[in-house]
Amino acid sequence: MSDLRIAVLGVGVMGADHVARIQNTISGARVAVVNDYLTDKAEALAATIPGCRAIADPLDAIADPDVDAVVLATPGPTHEKQLLACLEHTKPVMCEKPLTTDVETSLEVVRREAELSTRLIQVGFMRRFDHEYAALKALLDNDELGTPLVLHCAHRNPAVPPHFDSAMIVKDSLVHEVDVARFLFGEEITSIQIIKPAANPAAPQGLADPQIAIMRTATGKHVDVELFVTTGVAYEVRTEVVAEKGSAMIGLDVGLIRKGATGSWGGQITPGFRERFGQAYDTEFQRWVNAVHRGRSAGRSTGDFTDGPTAWDGYAAAAVCAAGVESLDSGNPVEVTMVDRRTIPRA
Ligand SMILES: NC(=O)c1ccc[n+]([C@@H]2O[C@H](COP(=O)([O-])OP(=O)(O)OC[C@H]3O[C@@H](n4cnc5c(N)ncnc54)[C@H](O)[C@@H]3O)[C@@H](O)[C@H]2O)c1
């Protein structure tokens, strides 16, 4: 089977990482086209990859006959237009989160994909592919913990860029725990409240950091998340499920523990999300490439070109985060408004 020819749109932090991943780690695919708003950047990158071209217009890159599949690593506000172009040209697409930046456009994307009766969109919620999250999910699915009751999460970053505001803590950081909660518990989130404790004195003026998110699922399960993005320390993502027959926790950074001659004892803390979730991104991309190959073999009209979070998962996350931003302003719990999934066939 010939390699999948992939166009990567947006070659910033994530896009450049994904280009290197596809070229060096993933089998069955190669980067055939790169595109970036900064055309010089795309051209310079293309020149380093055999058989790769830079195409200046993202929509031309999607439509190009020598492109089999697309990776969107452009900023969220550009996703809607680029996703609709992928659907128009029936091109499978791995879209970095978010699906789109608001609930209405996310729902429109879900509806347009459903009209094609083909699942073309996968959303980059990579934690589902992390070995630790997969082990936690397997414990729950195998009923080894009994009924899950509570999910405690912590999501800490050492620092964020200057443009990062309080709502982005909900939409860009919490969004991952929203997907994790839906993934682990297998049900929708129905309400959310964001609590703002006293702000970190070291945080930029006006940034509500830390924040505590409290969510409730359809069957009444409790989820709480500490979000703290200016710790000045390291990247920490911890998740604990408390269940009927015990509890289980991941994200403790307990890799190598070293005892030093100076009397020191300890391990390494993870500097950032690319180090913490490198394996997850690799697995996510390999499984996506395999799914696209399978979909192409099955035929374009009825195929499923995904193996992971779908457009619906992107829409559900957008709905929860929109309610979260509303709660950030009011301080009150906010009900999550979503359409009934059964009204959209194949969603
Ligand atoms: N899954 C994760 O863990 C994770 C982590 C970080 C970022 N992300 C997501 O990945 C996406 C990219 O984030 P990033 O951190 O790489 O951002 P970035 O700013 O580093 O890169 C974005 C790139 O897109 C280019 N660009 C902007 N508008 C464009 C357009 N219309 N067409 C083509 N290129 C355009 C920019 O020039 C830039 O090079 C975002 O959706 C973000 O939310 C996901």
Whether the pLDDT of residue 300 is over 60: the answer is: no
What number does the ligand 1 atom closest to the CA of 78 have? 31
Pairing of β 246-250 and β 189-195:
unpaired
pLDDT digits (tens, 9 = 90+) for 137-192: 999 999 999 999 999 999 999 999 999 999 999 999 999 999 999 999 999 999 99
Mutate to test the pocket of ligand 1, among 39, 55, 57, 74 (most ligand atoms within 8 A of CB): 74
Final residue in a domain of this structure, among 253, 271, 289: 271
In a domain, 132, yes or no: no
What one-character DSSP code corresponds to residue 105? H
In a domain, 321, yes or no: no
User: Which positions ≥6 away from 201 have C-beta within 8 Å?
Assistant: none
Are 262 and 285 members of one domain? no
The CATH number assigned to the domain holding 262 equals 3.30.360.10
pLDDT digits (tens, 9 = 90+) for 29-58: 999 999 999 999 999 999 999 999 999 999
Q: Which residue segment(s) compose the domain that 70 sits in?
A: 4-127+277-310
To the nearest whole number, what is the mean pLDDT of the chain?
96
Distance from residue 79's CA to the centre of ligand 1 (Å) = 10
- Residue keyed to tokens 């979070």: 309
pLDDT digits (tens, 9 = 90+) for 84-108: 999 999 999 999 999 999 999 999 9
- What gap in Å lies between CA 151 and CA 247, rounded to an integer? 10
CA-closest candidate to residue 74, choices 112, 40, 42:
42
Are 197 and 283 members of one domain? no
Name the least confident of 126-130, 210-214, 274-278: 274-278
Are 321 and 136 within 8 A, CB to CB?
no
Are 176 and 66 members of one domain? no
Please state the domain count of the chain: 2
pLDDT digits (tens, 9 = 90+) for 228-275: 999 999 999 999 999 999 999 999 988 899 999 999 999 888 889 999
In a domain, 322, yes or no: no
pLDDT for position 233: 92
The CATH number assigned to the domain holding 71 equals 3.40.50.720
- What gap in Å lies between CA 2 and CA 5, rounded to an integer? 9
Whether the pLDDT of residue 277 is over 70: the answer is: yes
pLDDT for position 347: 81
Are 245 and 293 members of one domain? no
Cβ of 273 less than 6 Å from ligand 1 = yes
Distance from residue 71's CA to the centre of ligand 1 (Å) = 11
pLDDT for position 63: 98
pLDDT for position 302: 63
What number does the ligand 1 atom closest to the CA of 14 have? 16
Average pLDDT for residues 100-127, to the nearest whole number?
96
